[in-house]
Amino acid sequence: MGARNQKFWKYYKQYEVAQMKAMMNNGQKDPLICTDRFDNKLLVITGATSGIGYHTAKKYASMGADLLCINRSEEKSIQLKAEIESGYQVKCDYLIADLGKINEIHAVADQLSALERDIDVLIHNAGLTLSKQQLTDEGYDLIFVVQYLASFIINYKLIEKLKVQESARIVMNNSEGHRFAPWGLHLDDLQFKKRRYSGLKAYGSAKLAQLLSMQIFREKFESSGVTINAMHPGAVKSDTGKDNGPLYKWYKRNILDKFLRPTHIASDALYYLGVSKDLENTSGKFFHLTTEEIPAPPAWDVAEAKKLWDISLELCNLKAQ
């Protein structure tokens, strides 16, 4: 029996109808709300100039947190800095990086690891969806880089800094879309060079990869006071898909957006996951907004996670630690 068939039957046996029902029910729930202040703490967030990231940045600032935003556009970052600092009397700095470029991800990760100030919450929010494949300068699938390798490199290079702090939370804006890869990753073809490309499959594979990496990061941070969790932001309005063609943009604006919930729901959830004392010792979990949920079976596969970890180190030119 081939490796793909073995995976199919392995995961097929683990799927449960109750878990799928729970996923659909969770989509109707509102997030839990945390009212605790976060004064003089530091939030680092990627993709903060629009959508969920923008609302999340404002949410944390409204509760007293200082911000360090990692964005692609300097013009938009300057505007965000002025708005946050004048509106909330907190500090809002930014770093410029294109998270679709491996060298820029490494550079911004090095800047973060060199910070003298503690990082209290790190939110990986930047993302994109594409209907047609785009390749990076390294020949990697762009969705795979932005949705997975960016968070992997930054998390990896921050391991020692965060452990020394003895307290920090990493929250990854993940997705129920990881279920678009129901039978696991093609570890021999992560860049879709041997298979027909599908935007949904590429997105699902990248989100699944992020969940698998979370299992190893959880082990790395065990007993350190550092936690890492992932969240599906709910069916809320965002800028996801803004890089797709005009037909998708029309569909999103005129049809899809009419059925989506307000964006602030996701930002409330990201604040709860980053600040609430109820989650102080919770790590390696997947949440639908703030409701803990069991992800698809491939996301629990620790043996697969270890294989992906080694491949990721090689792809990113990182040394094992």
Which tops the pLDDT comparison, 263 or 97? 97
Closest to 47 in 3D by CA, of 78, 69, 79, 62: 69
pLDDT of residue 6: 77
Instruction: Please give the structure tokens belonging to residue 284.
Output: 């390696």
| Residue type at position 258 | K
Instruction: Please give the structure tokens belonging to residue 154.
Output: 């930054």
- Is the CATH number 3.40.50.720 carried by domain 36-315? yes
Between CA 224 and CA 218 the distance in angstroms is: 10
Angle between helices 199-220 and 150-157 (to 10 degrees): 10
> Can you list the positions of beta strands (E) in the chain?
42-46, 66-71, 92-96, 121-124, 168-173, 226-232, 286-288, 291-293
| Residue type at position 310 | D
Between CA 287 and CA 269 the distance in angstroms is: 9
> Per-residue pLDDT for 202 more than 70?
yes
Between CA 257 and CA 259 the distance in angstroms is: 5
Domain edges within the chain: 36-315
pLDDT of residue 1: 46
pLDDT of residue 251: 39
pLDDT of residue 312: 98
Q: Specify whether the CB–CB gap between 135 and 197 falls below 8 A.
A: no
**Among all chains, which residue has been given the structure tokens 């938009």?**
76
Listed in sequence order, the residues at least 6 apart from 128 whose beta carbon sits closer than 8 Å to its beta carbon are 142, 143, 146, 147, 240, 241, 242, 243
Closest to 264 in 3D by CA, of 287, 239, 232, 237: 237
Mean pLDDT, all residues of the chain: 91
pLDDT of residue 262: 81
Least confident of 1-10, 33-42, 195-204: 1-10
pLDDT of residue 247: 46
- Can you spell out the DSSP letters for 156-198? HHTHHHHHHHT-EEEEEE--GGGGGSTT---TT-TTSSSS---
pLDDT of residue 179: 92
- Per-residue model confidence as pLDDT tens digits over 63-111: 999 999 999 999 999 999 999 999 999 999 999 999 999 999 999 999 9
- Can you spell out the DSSP letters for 255-266? TGGGGPBPTHHH
- Per-residue model confidence as pLDDT tens digits over 307-317: 999 999 999 99
pLDDT of residue 204: 95
Q: What SS3 state is found at 285?
A: coil
pTM (2 d.p.): 0.91
Listed in sequence order, the residues at least 6 apart from 131 whose beta carbon sits closer than 8 Å to its beta carbon are 199, 244, 245, 248
> Per-residue pLDDT for 255 more than 50?
no
pLDDT of residue 237: 59
What is the rounded average pLDDT of the residues 128-157?
Answer: 96
The separation between the first and the last C-alpha atoms of the chain, rounded to the nearest angstrom, is 35
> Per-residue pLDDT for 4 more than 60?
yes
pLDDT of residue 121: 98
Least confident of 98-112, 119-133, 144-158, 248-262: 248-262
pLDDT of residue 316: 97
Residues in the chain, overall count: 321
Which tops the pLDDT comparison, 26 or 82? 82
Q: How confident is the model at residue 321 (pLDDT cuts 50, 70, 90)?
A: confident
> Per-residue pLDDT for 254 more than 50?
no
> Per-residue pLDDT for 266 more than 90?
yes
